[in-house]
Structure 1
Amino acid sequence: MITNQLNSTVFWNITKYLSRETDYIAWYPMFKALEYLSNIFLFREQIYLNIKSLRMEAAKWACNLDDRICIKAAQNNLNRHLADPEKNTLLPWWKEWTYCQGLKLLNYSLSNSLNEDSHLCRVYRLEKEKFETKILKYLSCPEDSQFIKAALNPIKNDSITSIMFLEDFSDKDYINYFLFTIAKHARNPVVLDIILEKLENIRPRQVSEHVTFTVIINHVYSVEQLIKISKLAESYRHMTNLPIYIYISQHISNIQNKIRRRIFEIKCQQNYFQNFVEYQ
C-alpha cells in the first residue's frame, strides 16, 4: 500500500480485525506501521484508531493519540505509585509513560500544583532524590495552556507564579524545562500564541533566538503557525542597533530558510496523508 501497489481500503479493513485480536504477534506489524505513520498523527486531521489489548507499545500509542481510557489508566497508576512509592514501584520501562501521561490532563493552576501534596511536587521530589534528569521532561507534560503560561516564567522573585519556585530548581533546570516545553507543546495553537507573545520574557538569556526559533519551527505542523513565526522573526530586524543589524539579519535569513523548508516538508506530508487515505 505504501508503494501504491495495493488499495488502501484493504489495509484499513485488515486493521478492523485487530480489535478482536489479543496475540502480540498479530499486533507487532501494526506497531511498526504506527511508527512509520507517527508524523502524520501530529497533524490536526481527525484520525480514529481502536486500540485494545493494551500492553507497553499499545499503551504508548493509545495515549499519544489522546485515548482518554489510556490516559485515565496512567493517572490511576500514578495515584497508586504516589500513595505508596515503595510498595507500588514503577518498572523503568513504565516510568515515563506513568509520569507523563498521568500528569498530562491534570487541570490545575500552577500555584496549586506547587503545594507540597500536589502530584507535580511529589513527582518532582521523588525523581530529584534519585538524581533523575528526566524529571524536567516529566514536568513539561501537563497540557493545560494556562498552566504552561504561568510555568514559563524564568524570574524566581516575580509576582507571577513560576515553575522555578520548586525547591532546588536552578537556572539550568529552567533552560531544559523551557526547551522541553516548547518542543512538546508548540504545535498547540493556543500555546504557540502564548510562546510567541511572551517569547522575549520567557526565553532564558543563555538560549539564543536562533536556537529557540529552530526548536519551535521543528515542532509545529501547520503552515498557518509557521507564517506567524515568520512574522515574529522578521520583526527582529527592526529591533536592533545598526552595528549588529547585519549579524541579526543573517540569523533571521537562516530562520526564514528553515521555515520555508519546514513548509515544504509539511506540504509533502499532507500530500502523502491524502494519498494514504484516498480510495482508488
Structure 2
Amino acid sequence: MQTNNPIGVFDSGVGGTSILKEIIHALPAENTIYLADIKNAPYGERTSEEILQLAIKNTARLIDYGSKLIVVACNTATTNAIDTLRNTYDIPFIGIEPAIKPAALASRTKSIGILATKGTLSSALFARTSSLYTSKLNVIEVIGRGLVELIEGGELKSDRLFELLASYLKPMIAQNIDHLVLGCSHYPYLIPIIEEILPKNVTIIDSGQAVALQTKRILDKNNLLNQIQVEGEHKLYSNASIEVLTKLTSETIKNKKISYLDF
C-alpha cells in the first residue's frame, strides 16, 4: 500500500462531508475520496441487512479506487456494519457513532438528549455504548425523521426544517438536558438552527473532530501517513445530483483541490 493512496470516506449522501471537512483540516497532506450514496439515502429507515449490503458495496468501490483506510462517515452504517467490514477487509476502518461518553461524563443536570436516526438508535452497538455510560442518566432519544431528506434537498434554512427541529428538541428542553448528542453525520449542518432553539447552557456534541484525530492516529500507527508533504487532492463522487454536494462543500471546504465525479 502506497502512503500517498487516498483516505476513503462514504456516507448515505452529503452528510459525511461534515466529517470529511474535519479530516482535511487535520490531515492537509492526505488525498481523499468521498462517496455520496445519495441514491440510497437515508440509511436510517432501512433494515440492518440493507444497510450492511450498502456498506459492503461502498467499501468495495473505495478499495477499487485504492483507499488505504476507510472512514464510515455514517452513524447508521457504523452501528450496523462496522464489525462485519473489519472482519471482511484487510485495511483499517474508522467508524462514527454518537458521542455518548463525553456527554454523559460532562452532564451536570444528569439529563442528555440524543438526536439520531432510527437505524442508529435501534442498533446493538448503540445499545452497548449507551448502557456503559448512561445507567444513572435521564436520556431522551429522539428519531430525527425527515431531517436527512431536507438536508439532502438543500433545505438548510427553511421554515419547515426549523419547525421540525423544534418539535424534536422541545421535549428534550422540557426535561432539562444540558448536552445534545448529534447522532447523524448530516446533523452538524443543522447546528446554527439548533443553537437558535436550544437554551444557551446546552452543549452540542458531534463526532467530527474526534473521528479526524482517530484517523490520524490509525494512519500513524500503521505507517500510512502520506510522506509527500503537499496539499492533498479530493475527489467527491455522487450517484445522483451533485448540486447539494457541491454547494455544501464549496462553503465548508474552501480553497482546496476538489473534483466532482459520478459513480
Task: Give the TM-score of the pair, scaled to structure 2.
Answer: 0.28
Work out which structure has the larger RCO, using CA pairs closer than 8 Å and 6 or more positions apart in sequence: 2
Higher helix share: 1
Higher strand share: 2
Task: Give the TM-score of the pair, scaled to structure 1.
Answer: 0.27
The structure that has the greater radius of gyration is 1
